[in-house]
A and B are shown apart, each in its own frame.
Chain A
Amino acid sequence: MQQSVQRTVVGLLLTALASLWVGALAAQAEAPEVSGNATLEIRLFPQTTAYPGQRSQSVSLSFEPEYYQPFGSHSLIITPFIRADSADGRRNHFDLREAYFLYVAERFELAIGLRKVFWGVTESQHLVDIINQTDLVENPDTEDKLGQPMVHLLLPSDYGTVELFALPYFRERTYPGRRGRLRGPLPVDPDRTTYAAGAEQYHLDLAARYSHTLGPWDVGLSHFSGTSREPNLTPTAGGTVLAARYPLIQQSGLDLQLTWEQWLFKAEAIHRTGQGPGYYAWTGGFEYTLVGLFGSNMDLGLLGEWLRDSRGRSARTPFQQDILGGMRLVWNDAEDTQALIGGITDPRYGTLSVFIEASRRVATSTILSLELRLSDAPADDPIFNAVDQDDFFQLSLARYF
């Protein structure tokens, strides 16, 4: 009852606001802009499959156009995304990455609709970043996000920027299906999802962030109150599938970067309650850039990050106590050639995961990218061991317009 009332009120309010806005703006419309990309992706998994039904290769196509319509100090942005995949049905999916109105005034900015928001500074994981749900079927690196419905108010001042978020609808995390790789022994069944919130997906989540730059320091403080983006997964239906349950949490976050000469020093920390006992997690590290390597135009960046989670082995994250080391090579050529090579290890389990991400412009507005992920995990590392057979090589060709 409460749920349906809340749903109706939120829906009515949003519709009323949107129609007022559109009506007022139609008169000021300028020429719209359309851009985007179409991408062909090939994945090869050379190792034998760990679970029945899984495939050893996939070919997929994705398309992500962006429509931008300015109206004076207002604008409308719509970015749909669609993928079709030859192996995993769950990767055949459509999402509105963004679909929002933005109003920029002298003292504030207001955005209403689906939007992507990124918080944080570190490279290995994004602890503080919590507004958008992870689109995990896209890539196990958790960098792809689903569009999040929101009312987003941004208030700039000389003393920092305050942002307030009202998030009226929750998006479930996407997971690979039975035929997909990069998953545990049991697939996640989206029909069995449950929520701690009585209003389920319509629970109103709230978030606030303060960020500021003081000389060489960039600092962010944030708080989130609502449904966790990360579910607890439990075997169900006689142990044949996993069911996701999304608890209600409170999460406070801090992100910090010091930029000094060729050094970047970075740290992120969170404290979360409501998902098991309260816990802390943090990531800290550096990036050092050597400019003009061996008298060439190339830059070499050296990265190191340390990851900790106060729950230790009981944490459901793959990063309880890990170390990342890596190097970023940037050729500074007309083709924008670059490569990131790294490894993450958990010294307690002896797990090692290695990755290479490289890209180069091969024709006008056409980027060829290569990604390689190899991991070796002992049986007692519950998360990495589940994907121990899922080393993969990915090649993608993206045409931008």
Chain B
Amino acid sequence: MSTTRYLTTLTLSGVLLGSLIGLPAVLAETAEEKGLAIAVEADKRDTGWGDSASHLTMILTNRHGQESTRENHNRTKEVDGDGDKTLIVFDTPRDVKGTALLSFTHKTTTDDQWLFLPALKRVKRISSANKSGAFVGSEFAYEDISSQEIEKYTYRYLRDDTYDGAPCFVVERIPTDPNSGYSRQEAWYDKEHYRIMKVAYFDRKKAPLKTLTFHGYRQYLDRYWRADEYLMENHQTGKTTKLLWRDYKFGNGFSDKDFTKAGLKRAR
């Protein structure tokens, strides 16, 4: 989940080529071009990992400090030229154990999602238009945790900054989907590895809504960075959600057959 992909349009190749052959970045480069170039570079660096599996613990905290915990395990597969395929199987609370969500994300069209309800053995195709909806009651919206394709935003480079001591580019991202719950986002990319360190979200009325920070980045397959911890703080409600990722495994050899509606019924 939350990975990006390489785009091979002529325009983008031009931008990349420009930076590769060492032309000064300032030469006729607008803030929009620079913002897009940063997103493309981050995406390029996180392409080619194939598939992954992990366990996720979500800790939901309300403004009174009361916590509730949810756990799931999940599998993701990169798809050439399109968004990722993801299967999430819930483990706790025990009343949702076995509930499974299959998502096919797409670069430009709406995602496909199926939900398996174990008590009825029923698979339901669900509307993915609820992008702004809360994911299992947390402070993460579906659009925050689904595959972050380049095409889902337009970009503008804002400024340089430091985050946690690391020099960063700050890039504004404006969602292209009218169903998005955000007017804009600001994302901090570290200059060394192009990892996203922090995202500030602004609601449709342009007021600050949430801040997401990433902690404990680790490198896998000597190349791909994954954070152990995501922390989402909602400034309007005082609620937070912490995501703790563990047991990342790459190179599982998943095929499209591991991500089917029929297979959802026996997902464990």
Contact = CB atoms under 8 A, between A and B. Distances in A.
A117 B95 contact: no
Interface in B59-92: 60, 62, 68, 92
A interface majority secondary structure: strand
A102 B266 contact: yes
Contact of B179 (A143, A291, A398): A291
Given A161-B262, A364-B93, A400-B93, A261 B137 contact: no
A83 interface: no
B88 to A, nearest CB: 16
A299 B133 contact: yes
Q: For this complex, into which size category does the number of interface residues on chain A fall?
A: 35 or more
A118 interface: yes
A336 B136 CA distance: 8
A95 interface: no
Contacts of A118: 120-123
Given A291-B133, A334-B68, A154 B262 contact: yes
B127 interface: yes
B21 to A, nearest CB: 41
A133 to B, nearest CB: 14
Contacts of B121: 116-118
A337 B120 CA distance: 19
B217 to A, nearest CB: 28
B218 interface: no
Nearest to A335: B137
Contacts of A365: 92-95
B94 A400 contact: yes
Interface in A51-84: 68, 70, 75
Interface in A240-289: 257, 259, 261-264, 289
A184 interface: no
Contacts of A225: none
Contacts of A398: 95
Interface in B213-268: 257, 260-263, 266, 268
Interface in B82-111: 92-98, 110
Contact of A262 (B68, B92, B127): B127
Interface string A31-45: 000010100000000
Nearest to A212: B261
A398 to B, nearest CB: 7
B130 A366 contact: no
Contacts of B128: 259
Interface string A93-128: 000000000101010010000001110010000000
B127 A156 contact: no
Given A156-B257, A289-B129, A291-B129, A332 B94 contact: no
Given A299-B133, A335-B137, A400-B94, A289 B262 contact: no
Contact of A104 (B94, B131, B266): B266
Contacts of A400: 93-95, 97
A143 B137 contact: no
Contacts of A261: 110, 127, 129
A213 interface: yes
Interface string A139-182: 00001000000000010100001000000000000000000000
Interface in A285-330: 289, 291-292, 297, 299
A124 to B, nearest CB: 14
A104 B138 CA distance: 34
B134 interface: yes
B67 to A, nearest CB: 9
A365 B93 CA distance: 5
B68 A213 contact: no
B95 A367 contact: yes
Interface string B42-63: 0000000000000000001010
Interface in B128-149: 128-134, 136-138
B248 to A, nearest CB: 21
Contacts of B257: 106, 156
Contacts of A289: 127, 129-130
A200 interface: no
B18 interface: no
B266 A70 contact: no
Nearest to B113: A259
B133 A332 contact: yes
B60 A334 contact: yes
Contacts of B96: 336
A385 B261 CA distance: 41
A398 B96 CA distance: 12
Given A117-B121, A156-B260, A263 B94 contact: no
Contacts of A70: 268
15 contacts: A75-B268, A109-B262, A156-B263, A211-B261, A257-B125, A259-B126, A261-B129, A262-B127, A262-B129, A297-B134, A299-B133, A334-B62, A334-B138, A361-B93, A365-B94
Kindly list the 8 A-B residue pairs having the minimum CB-CB distance in the complex, ordered from nearest: A400-B94, A365-B94, A332-B134, A400-B95, A334-B137, A118-B122, A291-B130, A262-B129
Given A104-B266, A161-B260, A334-B68, 6 more contacts: A75-B268, A109-B266, A118-B120, A161-B261, A336-B137, A365-B95
